[in-house]
Chains A and B, each alone.
Chain A
Amino acid sequence: MAAESKIDPMHQFQISPLAGDLNGSPFVFTNSALWMLVVLALIWIFMLGGMKRELVPGRWQAMVEGVTGFVSSMVTTNIGPEGRKYIPWVFTVFMFILFANLLGMMPFALLGAHPFTVTSQFTVTGIMAIISFAIVLVVGFWRHGFHFFSLFIPHGTPKVLLPLIFLIELLSFMVRPFSLALRHFVAMIAGHILVEVFGSFVVQGINAGGMGPAISLLSFVFIVGVMALEILVCAIQAYVFALLTSLYINDAVNLH
């Protein structure tokens, strides 16, 4: 009985080709690519709806202005007035992550479509983190030249400790893209696994009979709370990614 209904929480993260062959050509249209396009289309619709530039904003325009104002105020408070140059990237990352996360939470399975969370792949979050890190490096070396290395030496470090502090700071600097990418991807994976496992409990409890339905009910109540938490986490992760990106850019622009 237990063997036939084994829970497979990792199945939802599988990338499967929709057109083409994964072993054949290097460019395959996968379900990940499809959901990325859906995210892009949704962002496009969202932004176009709010760009009518009415003098008195309607609901939609107020929504879009709320998001853009939120990101631009976050960037300018963290980087300063020079930070306006970096708003496009931070805004892109924030919107893409937010929409991809929330789209992954939508119950499309009810309609028969298999939902796929784009940001649950380390490659996707990794590429975004690497681009953020590259911006930091390029901006840092462009503006400050080799003086950029003084970022690794805090003010007032004793001469004896200099090599050690430099190594530690360098290590913590180099680990940034990994932590940025890992945090987001693992948060998504963990939430989806949790939902999947307790969703399976509901189904299996009903099938089991006896005390099963009681356990189903408990799992169902629990899963409602977890879903609410997950939607919160989706927004927080998008916010944290954008916030940390702007903080790292601040390091490069202002050197402490």
Chain B
Amino acid sequence: MDLASAQVIGAGLAAVGVGAAAIGVGNVFGSFLESAIRNPAAADSQQGRLFIGFAAAELLGLIAFAVAMIILYAR
């Protein structure tokens, strides 16, 4: 296998992490919605924590994307 095709395959494998982060982000918002419906009065005060959780989950997916790009464009 030459380097170019190995790079493309590697980038594709690294991109799997983005899908995993999608599960994480969905989990964050899903859990928030679930509990917000149970207790709507407390929902607004927790919005900051919601976005902290979102940012933490999203960061890992974005790192996976960055890794994929580094593999794809590496010489």
Partners in one complex: yes
Residue of B48, B54, B73 touching A78 (CB-CB under 8 A): B48
**Restricting to A207-256, which residues have a CB under 8 Å from any CB of B?**
236, 239-240, 243-244, 247
Interface flags for A177-199 (1: CB within 8 Å of B; 0: not) read: 00100110011011000000000
Check A183 against B48 for contact (C-beta < 8 Å): no
Q: Which residues of chain B are within 8 angstroms of A247 by Cβ–Cβ distance?
A: 52
Check A244 against B52 for contact (C-beta < 8 Å): yes
User: How far is A240 from B52 in the complex, measured between Cα atoms in Å?
Assistant: 7
Count of B interface residues, CB-CB < 8 Å: 13
**Is A93's beta carbon under 8 Å from chain B?**
no
Interface flags for B21-57 (1: CB within 8 Å of A; 0: not) read: 0000000000000000000000000001001101100
Place the interface of chain A in its size category.
Answer: 10 to 19
**Is B6's beta carbon under 8 Å from chain A?**
no
Q: Which residues of chain A are within 8 angstroms of B65 by Cβ–Cβ distance?
A: 186, 190
**Is A129's beta carbon under 8 Å from chain B?**
no
Check A243 against B62 for contact (C-beta < 8 Å): no
Q: Which residues of chain A are within 8 angstroms of B52 by Cβ–Cβ distance?
A: 243-244, 247
User: How far is A74 from B52 in the complex, measured between Cα atoms in Å?
Assistant: 13
**Is A16's beta carbon under 8 Å from chain B?**
no
- Which residues of A come within 8 Å of B, CB atoms? 10, 74, 77-78, 179, 182-183, 186-187, 189-190, 236, 239-240, 243-244, 247
- Which residues of B come within 8 Å of A, CB atoms? 48, 51-52, 54-55, 58-59, 62-63, 65-66, 69, 73
Between A and B, 29 residue pairs with Cβ closer than 8 Å are A10-B73, A74-B48, A77-B48, A78-B48, A179-B59, A182-B59, A182-B62, A182-B63, A182-B66, A183-B55, A183-B58, A183-B59, A186-B62, A186-B65, A187-B58, A187-B62, A190-B62, A236-B51, A236-B54, A240-B51, A240-B54, A240-B55, A243-B48, A243-B51, A243-B52, A243-B55, A244-B52, A244-B55, A247-B52
